[in-house]
Amino acid sequence: MREELSIPSSTEFLSELREAVGRCLASSTFEAEANRLVLAVDEAVANVIEHAYAHDLEGERKIEVAIEVDEESFSVEIRDRGSAFDPTSVDLPNIKDHVKQGKRSGLGVFLMRRIMDEVHYETARGVNTLRMMKRATGASPEGEEDA
């Protein structure tokens, strides 16, 4: 199943995104993990709204999302034209310290990287692209054969 959507850069449209991801995951190999996968995608897009677009012209800039799921993998591609930020370049926080300090935000990148098997980021010609993928349990990474 594949679904593409374009949402305005406003948090009020995150529910539309979550519903689309949930629809794609329903009755799939990933149904049991749906809440975690929805969370990873939600965090990624929320970061675009908050950081890449910095709430600038809220709702007027678009975020394009392509969701694809089959028996072996769930993948999502998120494209924006905001400020570039590579989530794979951020060191993962020490969760115990994070909690001790009473922080209630700042874990989006951590969650994305912990939930998904692969997180890739690139920017070219003013377009930022974040690709995230989760393999079904027992599925081999692309290019590798089962032992």
* CB-CB contact of 115 with 133 (8 Å): no
Domains in the chain, CATH or no CATH each: 2-135 (3.30.565.10)
pLDDT for 33: 96
Question: pLDDT at position 87, please?
Answer: 78
Cβ burial of 116 (10 Å; 0-12, 13-18, 19+) is buried
Looking at residue 106, its pLDDT comes to: 63
In this prediction, residues 75-101 reach a mean pLDDT of 80
Instruction: Supply the DSSP symbol for 129.
Output: E
**How far apart (Å, rounded) are the C-alpha atoms in residues 108 and 40?**
8
The two three-digit tokens of residue 78, written as one number: 């998120």
Q: Is residue 76 a contact partner of residue 32, using CB atoms and an 8 Å limit?
A: no
pTM comes to: 0.84
Question: Nearest-5° angle of CA 45, CA 72, CA 65?
Answer: 20
Residue 73: predicted pLDDT = 98
Q: Say how far apart CA 63 and CA 55 lie, in whole Å.
A: 13
Say if CB 85 and CB 108 are below 8 A apart. no
Cα–Cα distance, 121 to 76 (Å, whole number)? 12
How many angstroms separate the CA atoms of 49 and 14, rounded?
10
Rounded distance, CA 45 to CA 22, Å? Answer: 15
Rounded CA-CA distance 102/115 in Å is 23
Over residues 4-30, the mean pLDDT reads: 96
pLDDT score for 21:
98
